[in-house]
Structure 1
Amino acid sequence: MKNYEQEINLYFELKGTPESSRESYLRRMQAFITYIQNQNKIIENITETDIQQYILYIKKEKKLSAGTINNYISGIRWFYTIILEKEWNARKIPRMKRTPAFPIVPAKADVLTLVNVTTNLKHKAFLVLLYGSGLRVSEVAKLKICDICSKSMRIRVENAKHNTNRYSILSATALDILRAYFKAYFSPKAFHPEDWLFPGRNPGEHVSIKTIKNTLIKLRNRLHLNQRISAHTLRHYVESQVMGSVLIFCPNFGLFLLEHSP
């Protein structure tokens, strides 16, 4: 992997690939290269058969899901065509068919329990933004102070997944929690609107995605709640309520009154 690191990073930089996507691609390519090396093969000489055998390996031995395997295929295909400059035969290396599944939607009572027992204002702010505003954990981590607009009661989400920009809902209760958090963690006149809303340990950096995930996991486990509750599944509540319905915003935390479309 070291021989290709410079070329890979140059491509990512030229394309402006988000850091999260870079890490994902690098992790999967590294796993594939390690597998090939363990087979005593040279990476430059890999064939379609080698790739097929690796896919069977992660399917049968690692028992990865179809969606995860397709992500690996995407990473391998990128490495095979862009870095090794070889032709890709999609007929011999097909993507796996995925069975549609319902998203995991945590029970509202469980989420409210998480919020109510959390005394740490920073952690409480994480929860209300994930649940009440439907933000991804990476989006919460990268919020800036200026992204929160109390006048329009919305949150600006910039450079999100697939380099998209959008606005999300900000509830009145979430705003109250954010104000309490801001007052406790920021000194008056000692901040700039472009500063991170949730600073990390190192100066100039935002809180890590892993920190937010681990915070929720520890709290969930301490309360003995459903193990499927995670930073990612919290946002499914908003998604499940919006699909196929007319969304009417209610200022109370996490409540969205819905009327099904005719």
Structure 2
Amino acid sequence: MSMQQYKQEIELYFELKGTPESSRESYLRRIFAFINYMQNQHKCMEDVTDSDIQQYILYLKKEKGLSAGTINCYISAVKFFHTCIIGKEWDPKKIPRMKRIRKSPVIPPKQDVLAILNKAANLKHKAILALLYGSASGSEK
């Protein structure tokens, strides 16, 4: 199938489902990136294997340096294309979504916060700063 034929099938599916325009654009962009990658690997889309998709995900992670959240968006688009347009099975055990790493907030040392609070001349500003510090570090103290 040509790129134009894939696009027509994808757009038909989106129209039938009522997919919002912003989602359509995002999915199309990611699907075409996947198709281009596979074509550069000399792969026919109907012959793409789980291993090929795994290699694509590694490429996104290692070569492109994309975050786990962004890669998961690519995985969703590829899964849609692979299952709904190509009509193949998807094995989530072989093609898992990436775990997103949650970063803890950086809370400055207590003495630094007290120094800032002591420098605040306005009582209202001092109260706001104290409230913010207390709410951000409640479980960290």
Shared fold by TM > 0.5? yes
TM alignment of 1:90-101, pairs within 5 A: 90-101=92-103
- The number of equivalent residue pairs is 105
Match of 2:51 in 1: 49
1:69 counterpart (63, 68, 71): 71
Match of 1:255 in 2: none
Match of 2:11 in 1: 9
Structure 2 CA distance for aligned equivalents of residues 6 and 65 of structure 1: 30
Question: For each residue in 1:14-33, what CA deviation from the matched residue of structure 2 results, as whole angstroms up to 9, or x when unmatched?
Answer: 11111000000000000000
Structure 2 CA distance for aligned equivalents of residues 3 and 50 of structure 1: 22
Return the offset for 1:101. 3.9
Unaligned 5+ segments in structure 1 are: 104-240, 245-262
Structure 1 CA distance for aligned equivalents of residues 49 and 4 of structure 2: 21
TM-score by length of 1: 0.39
Match of 1:24 in 2: 26
RCO higher in structure (CA 8 A, sep ≥6): 2
Richer in helix (by share): 2
Unaligned 5+ segments in structure 2 are: 106-131, 136-141
Instruction: Supply the AA of the counterpart residue of 2:29.
Output: R
Instruction: Supply the AA of the counterpart residue of 2:59.
Output: Y
RMSD value over aligned CA atoms? 1.7
Aligned pair 1:37/2:26, yes or no?
A: no
Instruction: State the identity as a percent.
Output: 67
Call closer, same or farther: CA 1:30–1:102 in 2, change over 3 Å.
farther
TM alignment of 1:175-214, pairs within 5 A: none
Structure 1 CA distance for aligned equivalents of residues 59 and 9 of structure 2: 28
Structure 2 CA distance for aligned equivalents of residues 85 and 16 of structure 1: 20
Structure 2 CA distance for aligned equivalents of residues 34 and 66 of structure 1: 21
Return the offset for 1:102. 6.7
TM alignment of 1:244-255, pairs within 5 A: none
TM-score by length of 2: 0.71
